[in-house]
Structures are given as structure tokens and as C-alpha cells.
Amino acid sequence: MFTAAAIGILVTMSLALMRALLGPTTFDRILALNMVGTKTTLLIAVVGFLTDRPDFMDIALVYALINFIGVIAVLRYTKYGEFLTEGSAEE
Amino acid sequence: MILAIDIALLVMLAVVGIAIIRLRNLFAVVMLSGIYSLLMASTFVLLDAVDVAFTEAAVGAGISTVLLLGVLTLTKSREKIPVTTPLLPLVTVVVTGALLIYGTWDLPAFGDPNAPAHRHVAPEYLAEATHETGAPNVVTAVLASYRGYDTLGEVTVIFTAGIGVLLLLSGSGVLRRREPEENDDKPGGAA
């Protein structure tokens, strides 16, 4: 069952990766970053149970915190930072 | 199963790496470098290097993404298309990579208990660390006690680099924000 979960997480991760590659808007990419971060958290947790090391769960929790703070920081910069947008049609 | 996850993560790393080279939208490149760090951190966790993975996630996906975004506010958000084909750098990178792969042939197998790294001082640390330093974690004992001066030096370097980056970013930010304004609020203005 954990194997199936791991495969599902990897598939979701690659789908989020495709969204980050293709875009097209800034927020698609931010969401893709957030999604990959969430999947990293889940993947570490699942790998922990898959290899009989449930203490990986703590690491996964810290990753969730880092991911949350990171996305907040990125969003703040997107909202308040001054991006010079010459020649880019997507801002 | 772990091998399959490893392979999947490494394939994604390669895809992200090639995409970072190909894309010209710098915001997308910053986001992709964050994703690269997260994937790399998962790989480190799978390799049992949990502390390295923490550093990679905090520095790579957290701090450096924010720093790169800060830089992005000072530059344009699209990279110029290079005029020349970078043949010499490509050759250099391929040769260096081939040399590094050649070098790995001499490395002991991953996790080999008879590797030189595990036979030099490691057994002594494992046996003595707890009662010599009082730290229950051997990695902590090595980092903070046995090579404490080295760690202090590292922290100094990182601290200096952080101050430098903050000065660079905040300094040019102030200049840019002052630019459109008139100078009438300059005397007595809160800095």
C-alpha cells in the first residue's frame, strides 16, 4: 500500500513539475513549487514507513514548515516586490 | 522500491536542470531552482543524509529562492538570448564531468563499512563521543566539539556572506526607490 502511495506521489510530483515547466502564468509556477514541496513532505513520510523508519515523520513535518514559509515569502515578493516586466507579457 | 524512487527523482532532477538551462523567463528559473532543491533534498533523505537534506531544503528552497527573487526585482525578468554558441564551456563541462565519473570508480561502495572514511577516526568517535563531549548525538559532537573551530569558521564565512548580500540588495533598493522622488524630504528624513 505504501508502494502504491509512493507511486501516486511521484506521478503527482511529475505533473506539478510539468506545470512549473509549462507555466504559463507566474502563479502556476508558484503553485507548482508549493505542490512539489508538499509532495516532498509526503514522499519523505511514505518512504519512512516504507523502510520501517517512522521517525522520518518529524523530518517531513519540518519540511512542511519550510515549504509554508518559503511560499509565503515568494508570494510577498510577487505582491510587493517591484518586478521590472519589460518584454514579458505574463505579469 | 527505494531504487525506483531514486531513479524517478533523478530523472526529474535532470528534467529540471535542462529546463533551467533552456528557459529564458527568469521567474520560472527561480521557481525551478527551488523545485530542484526540494528534489535534491528528497534524494539526500533517501541517502540517509538527513542533516544535509535539511540544509538543502532551508538554504536551497527557502533562502536562495528569496534572494534570487530579490535580485530579480533589480534586473529584468527575461534573460537575453546568447549570440554565440558556448562550445568551449560545453567541452570543459563534459571533460570535467567525465573526469569526475572516472574518479568515482576508485571510490568504495556506498555504505561499505570497510571504507577508509569509516575506519580512520570514526570508531573512536563512536566509542568516546558520548562521555568525552556529553552530546548524545555523535554528529553534533563532531560538529560542535571535535571540529568546533572549523564550524566556527564556517559560521563566520556564512555570516559575512549574508551581511554582504543584505548590504548589496538593500543598498541598491534604496537607490532605486529614491530615484523617482524629489529631494524635498531628504533633510531630516528617517533613514
- B190 has pLDDT over 50: no
Distance of alpha carbon B23 from alpha carbon A60, whole angstroms: 31
* Interface test with chain B among A2, A63, A79, A85, by most B beta carbons within 10 Å: A63
Query: What are the tens digits of pLDDT across the range B23-36?
Result: 888 888 888 888 89
- Structural domains in chain A, sorted by start: 2-80 (1.10.287)
Distance of alpha carbon A25 from alpha carbon A27, whole angstroms: 5
Distance of alpha carbon B191 from alpha carbon B182, whole angstroms: 16
What are the chain A neighbours of B32 within 8 Å (beta carbons)?
Answer: 20-21, 29
Residue pair A77/B66 in contact by the 8 Å Cβ criterion: yes
- A36 has pLDDT over 60: yes
Residue pair B63/B57 in contact by the 8 Å Cβ criterion: no
CATH number of B1-80: 1.20.120.1200
In percent, how much of chain B has pLDDT > 90? 13
For all residues of chain A together, what is the average pLDDT? 79
A83 to B72: CB separation less than 8 angstroms, yes or no = yes
A84 strand-pairing partners:
B76
Domain residue extents for chain B: 1-80
B70 to A81: CB separation less than 8 angstroms, yes or no = yes
Query: What are the tens digits of pLDDT across the range B108-126?
Result: 887 777 777 777 777 888 8
How many CB atoms are closer than 10 A to CB B71? 15
Residue (of A80, A79, A26, A32) closest to B61 by Cα position: A32
Distance of alpha carbon B34 from alpha carbon B81, whole angstroms: 23
Residues 9-38 of B with CB under 8 A from A: 9, 12, 15-16, 19, 23, 25, 27-28, 31-32, 34-35, 38
Of B65 and B10, more confident: B10
Measured in degrees and rounded to the nearest 5, phi and psi for residue B108 equal -70, 160
